[in-house]
Amino acid sequence: MIGHIEAVLASLRATLPAERVMTDAADCLAYGYDNSRRCAAPQAVVVALNAEDVALTVRACREHAVPLTVRGRGTNTTGASVPVAGGVVLTLERMNRVIEYRPADRLMVVEPGVLNAEVQRIAEADGLFWAPDPTSAAYSTVGGNLACGAGGPRAVKYGTARDAVLGLRAVTGNGDLIRSGGETTKGVVGYDLTRLLIGSEGTLAVITEATLKLLPRPTERRMLRACYVDTTAAIAAVVRLMGQADLPCAVEFMDGAAVALAQAWRDTGVPAATGALLLIEVDGSAASVSLTQQAVAAVAAAGDGVVAVDVAETAAHAEALWACRKALSPSLRKLAPKKVNEDVAVPVSRLPLLLAEVEAIAASGGLQIVNFGHAGNGNIHVNILADPDDPAQMSAITPALSRLFRKVLDLGGTLSGEHGVGIDKREFVAWEIDAVTLALMHSLKRVFDPVGILNPGKTLPGP
């Protein structure tokens, strides 16, 4: 490997400036980890400024069979951008130009290093927005959002990254520049490589340009908080909400444990009898949003087990209702040195079955598990909390995950709704995808990346 990496470096240094080909251990270490807290130092880091730099780097690594891991800002939570095989990290953070913006066509063409928040800032001036809204939007890149198939709370109404891109330019593992899709919202010529590349975590090709589909920004947002005696009543309300015409733009769920933790951290006025709650947001025009809010509130309050439905009348009131959710993250950080956060998803009507199983898993393993997430999509973040100094708790995590994943798949769900697979869930992918389909995916991988240099050890289990 050492001889191979030196050959790659010699090839790259013949073309790229020395300051954009880094090998110092301190420089490389900064590109060896992501938000999963995993770390593996690469042997070299290459800073790309354009698609030609990307192609040059891919070709050099392909010629000498050196692993290549692409990254943006490292906000991924599953280890997808950690260079576990060593080799070269190709950072796209300086490919951050907005190439074209056409508000009349509701599209923006960007390089992969542009921040999600920058796209939103530019589009907002013309009353537009881009649908993906992950928690990391202020500092995650478009390229990273696409690589992992990011979503967020408003995916329930506006879709995820796969629904928000018109076309891509990319470099395959052969070093070939390809183009998929275009600039129109309709188009059925050829295979849909755009949706294939989104969510592939850099294992098929390196995205160098994306044409984003923008949407009209609603002029008003309103929210309400609905409290229920238990998760069954709360999820029954979610089913009702998702089956009526006035579709919310966000339906966030917190189970009883999450509510209790948030309340212990900061009293936000949640009624004492609350065993689960929903934070529901609606949007629309100034003329319609109040009516939509009232209609959604009526549906939320229509079933059994309702404790209270609070409708926000002002921005300050809305902020007060959101406070219970905002108090949850700091309370979790204080409570648990070790937190395993899974983002499984099941059909909405089957959420009560999933949550009942999670409760049983927690009891049998002596673990504390807190559940919250995007209930409108059936996408729940299952947070297993443990003390690293407690051997019994630590040994219970792996069987708990196995049991959780089995139940999710039995319910017709998926192991990851929006965080991706990366390293963390790779060994479980064969539980969800049958052998014949996996073999086809491995064949596609070989077509796009014949030498197998792109982000090895991620996404798909070994053939």
pLDDT tens, 177-235?
A: 999 999 999 999 999 999 999 999 999 999 999 999 999 999 999 999 999 999 999 99
CA distance 77 to 83: 14
CA distance 112 to 116: 10
The domain of 284 spans 220-329
Instruction: Compute CA distances 456 → 83, 89, 369, 406, whole Å.
Output: 8, 12, 32, 26
* Domain final residue, candidates 278, 298, 329: 329
CA distance 274 to 21: 56
Query: Both 271 and 241 in a single domain?
Result: yes
CATH number (domain holding residue 183): 3.30.465.10
Instruction: Provide the pLDDT for residue 372.
Output: 93
pLDDT < 50 positions in the chain: none
Query: Both 147 and 257 in a single domain?
Result: no
> For the chain, what is the domain count?
3
Inside any domain, residue 383: no
Mean pLDDT of the chain: 94
How many CB atoms lie under 10 A from the CB of residue 144?
Answer: 32
Instruction: Provide the pLDDT for residue 1.
Output: 56
Inside any domain, residue 420: no
CA distance 457 to 147: 15
Query: Both 68 and 113 in a single domain?
Result: no
* Domain final residue, candidates 91, 108, 142: 91
Instruction: Provide the pLDDT for residue 378.
Output: 95
Instruction: Compute CA distances 169 → 98, 110, 119, 416, whole Å.
Output: 14, 10, 18, 26
Per-residue pLDDT reduced to its tens digit, 133-189: 998 999 999 999 999 999 989 999 999 999 999 999 999 999 999 999 999 999 999
Is residue 423 within 8 Å of residue 78, measured between CB atoms? yes
